């Protein structure tokens, strides 16, 4: 696929829950697949409503092939039963999330894969292959990934369309368990669609959340023999947010090392970092982490066992961190964690069974305690730093950041097996 100069966000016929077939929209939605804490989170969502979207995004069975076929069969059945119905005409969807003072608005559409989209993290090949197999079996994009772009900061172009549409009656409105209110509108007017297309044709996007899904879209397209740019596989479901108007929140993603006991984690440091016991609760430990200058982490073995790591040995950093990257990259907490602690000090294999990635501090600490392992609690990296590195073509260690608020999964799906997509 040849590269496009700008972004092309295409309308599609959204697949949405029929309100009279489910207990509530809240009960059938889910966080993104990689945020759901397994197995407890999956079980909680499955019991919320028999049609909860988690049965499609995180099916569970004895082997991957069975899981993927199960999701595909479930999707076909729900469509045949009228639980999920397809909108009559292609649309872009204005999507709003609001909680307290946090307000995010953007456009959901099918983004052409040949546009200027900047990744900032690497991906795990096994995860990409698994998600690709799932989407290929189901012929669907179940959840939009989150992309950001920098507009003019004024209500022109795509922003003007969004601001006008949100004054109308929404297609749906619901409040999810996390307290966020969600609203969705369809944009079908040709003039509005043309205004959005013209505006975005001069933009580039940063992947804020969903590197594995973007890599999955690309993998799926590569696996479609002879598919051209008009093929539904040549685009993928995204939420595109103008961060000049709606700045994203950036949070850390924490690591859980289930096979590394806290005592061994500390003993293996052997002077490579300063380690100090932190009294108090999790909130106090996180506050100490935020206030510590330079590289720093909190190690947690349970809800009342915290140690602050800082002041890494400069000679160790110099020896273990690659030199062919910008200094900003070399000083990232995630860079130091992976290059120094995981690879050199603790010798943790770079494999999903050895390193878990959790977005919520409490869940990370709880999971570490359950396995007798260690949680490494991290600090967030600023969006400015992320974008600066991405524009230089430099990727950060994977799962370095968590941008949000993330779109709820289940409000609108995209199918790839029929026309109008």
What is the spatial distance between Cα 216 and Cα 219, in angstroms, rounded to a whole number? 5
pLDDT of residue 1: 58
What is the spatial distance between Cα 106 and Cα 407, in angstroms, rounded to a whole number? 10
Q: Mean pLDDT score of the chain, rounded to an integer?
A: 93
Task: Give which of 260, 288, 209 is closest to 367, Cα–Cα.
Answer: 260
CA 216 to chain centre: 13
Tens-digit pLDDT profile for residues 125-176: 999 999 999 999 999 999 999 999 999 877 889 999 999 999 999 999 999 9
- Token pair 């006008």 in the structure block, residue: 164
Q: Which residues pair with 255 in a beta bridge?
A: 357, 376
Percent of the chain with pLDDT over 70: 98
E strands, 331-400, in order: 356-358, 374-377
From first CA to last CA, the distance across the chain in angstroms is 19
Spell out the per-residue pLDDT of the chain, length 421, in tens: 555 689 999 999 999 999 999 999 999 999 999 888 678 888 899 889 999 999 999 998 889 999 999 999 999 999 999 999 999 999 999 999 999 999 999 999 999 999 999 998 888 899 999 999 999 999 999 999 999 999 987 788 999 999 999 999 999 999 998 899 999 999 999 999 999 999 999 999 999 999 999 999 999 999 987 788 889 999 999 999 999 999 998 889 999 999 999 999 999 998 899 999 998 899 999 999 999 999 999 999 999 899 999 999 999 999 999 999 999 999 999 999 999 999 999 999 988 899 999 989 999 999 999 999 999 999 999 888 998 999 999 988 878 888 999 999 999 999 998 644 4
Would you say the C-alpha torsion 324, 329, 333, 337 has a positive or negative sign?
Answer: negative
3-state secondary structure of 54: helix
What is the spatial distance between Cα 337 and Cα 335, in angstroms, rounded to a whole number? 5
pLDDT of residue 121: 85
- Token pair 């907490």 in the structure block, residue: 333
Tens-digit pLDDT profile for residues 7-44: 999 999 999 999 999 999 999 999 999 888 678 888 89
Would you say the C-alpha torsion 352, 357, 363, 364 has a positive or negative sign?
Answer: positive
What does DSSP say about strands 356-358 and 254-257: parallel, antiparallel, or unpaired? antiparallel
**Vertex 163 angle, CA 108 and 113, to 5°:** 25
Which pair of structure tokens corresponds to residue 334? 């995630």
Would you say the C-alpha torsion 8, 415, 187, 95 has a positive or negative sign?
Answer: negative
What is the spatial distance between Cα 317 and Cα 273, in angstroms, rounded to a whole number? 10
What is the spatial distance between Cα 237 and Cα 213, in angstroms, rounded to a whole number? 9
For 173, the enclosing helix (H) or strand (E) is strand 172-175
3-state secondary structure of 46: helix
What is the spatial distance between Cα 403 and Cα 255, in angstroms, rounded to a whole number? 17
**Taking the complete model, does pTM exceed 0.85, yes or no?**
no
3-state secondary structure of 73: helix
- Token pair 């096979």 in the structure block, residue: 259
What does DSSP say about strands 145-149 and 235-242: parallel, antiparallel, or unpaired? parallel
- Domains plus CATH for the chain? 9-249+404-415 (3.90.1530.10), 254-377 (no CATH)
pLDDT of residue 4: 66
Encode burial over 179-190: b for 16+ CB neighbours within 10 A, e otherwise.
ebebbbbbbeee
Q: Could you tell me which residues come within 8 angstroms of residue 117 by beta carbon, excluding any fewer than 6 positions away?
A: 7, 111, 147, 204, 205, 206, 207, 214
**Vertex 43 angle, CA 39 and 48, to 5°:** 155
- Which 8-state DSSP code applies to residue 232? G
What does DSSP say about strands 140-141 and 9-10: parallel, antiparallel, or unpaired? unpaired
């Amino acid at each position: 696929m040849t590269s496009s100069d700008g972004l092309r966000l295409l309308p599609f016929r959204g697949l949405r829950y029929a309100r009279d077939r489910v207990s509530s929209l809240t009960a059938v939605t889910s966080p993104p697949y990689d945020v759901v804490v397994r197995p407890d989170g999956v079980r909680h969502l499955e019991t919320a409503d028999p049609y909860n979207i988690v049965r499609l995004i995180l099916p569970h069975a004895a082997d991957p092939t069975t899981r993927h076929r199960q999701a595909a069969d479930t999707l076909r059945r729900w469509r045949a039963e009228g639980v999920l119905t397809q909108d009559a005409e292609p649309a872009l969807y204005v999507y709003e999330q609001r909680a307290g003072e946090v307000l995010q608005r953007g456009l959901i559409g099918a983004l052409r894969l040949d546009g200027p989209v900047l990744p900032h993290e690497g991906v795990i090949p096994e995860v990409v292959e698994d998600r690709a197999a799932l989407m290929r079996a189901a012929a669907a994009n179940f959840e939009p990934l989150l992309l950001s772009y920098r507009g003019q900061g004024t209500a022109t172009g795509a922003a003007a369309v969004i601001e006008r549409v949100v004054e109308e009656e929404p297609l749906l409105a619901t409040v999810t368990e996390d307290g966020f209110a969600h609203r969705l509108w369809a944009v079908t007017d040709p003039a509005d669609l043309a205004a959005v297309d013209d505006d975005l044709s001069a933009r580039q996007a940063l992947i804020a959340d969903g590197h594995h899904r973007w890599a999955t879209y690309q993998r799926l397209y590569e696996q479609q023999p002879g598919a051209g740019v008009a093929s539904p596989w040549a685009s993928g479901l995204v939420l595109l947010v103008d961060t000049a108007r709606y700045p994203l929140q950036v949070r850390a993603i924490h690591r859980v090392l289930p096979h590394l006991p806290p005592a061994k984690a500390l003993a293996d440091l052997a002077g490579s970092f300063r380690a100090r016991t932190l009294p108090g609760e999790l909130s106090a430990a996180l506050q100490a982490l935020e206030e510590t200058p330079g590289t720093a982490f909190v190690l947690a073995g349970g809800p009342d066992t915290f140690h602050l790591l800082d002041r890494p040995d400069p000679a160790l950093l110099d020896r273990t961190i690659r030199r062919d990257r910008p200094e900003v990259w070399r000083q990232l907490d995630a860079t130091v964690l992976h290059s120094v602690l995981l690879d050199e000090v603790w010798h943790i294999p770079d494999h999903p069974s050895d390193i878990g990635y959790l977005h919520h501090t409490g869940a990370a600490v709880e999971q570490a305690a359950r396995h007798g392992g260690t949680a490494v609690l991290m600090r967030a990296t600023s969006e400015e730093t992320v974008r600066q590195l991405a524009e230089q073509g430099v990727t950060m260690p994977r799962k370095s950041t968590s941008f949000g608020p993330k779109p709820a999964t289940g409000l609108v799906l995209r199918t790839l097996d029929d026309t109008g997509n």
